[in-house]
A = this chain, B = another copy of it.
């Protein structure tokens, strides 16, 4: 109780957090916390699994990574641009393309107000087979 204030949290920079961030950068598509943990370990960058979870969650809250929940309940993460966007993900190879859909945003808000809903958020993901995987 030195300052008398409730400062949010200084956010210290550590080897582990950098490793998680860098590891994520080296991934093509979405990865789960466990996959990333394995990958770091194989690279010799030993980081505790708990820490990977915490780092990813923090990055997610800070808007530096996107996260989504797969059908089988696993949360997967990916480095992303800070603007609002959606994804087009290849079912076979996991390659991911970021999509901006202004039309969809507009539509979503229109539909919502028609039904008396406010404070709208939405999830939208596209899945398919990318060109390389189709021709292969």
Contact = CB atoms under 8 A, between A and B. Distances in A.
Interface of A: 69-71, 73-75, 88, 90-91, 97, 99, 101, 103-104, 107-108, 111-112, 115-131, 134
A2 to B, nearest CB: 36
Given A69-B70, A88-B112, 14 more contacts: A88-B111, A88-B117, A97-B115, A101-B107, A104-B107, A112-B126, A112-B128, A116-B130, A117-B131, A118-B129, A120-B126, A123-B123, A123-B127, A124-B124
A127 B117 CA distance: 9
Nearest to A124: B124
A117 B124 CA distance: 16
A123 B123 CA distance: 7
Contact of A115 (B71, B73, B88, B119): B88
A28 to B, nearest CB: 15
A54 B80 CA distance: 37
A66 B1 CA distance: 51
Given A99-B111, A131-B116, A125 B122 contact: yes
Contacts of A119: 91, 128-129
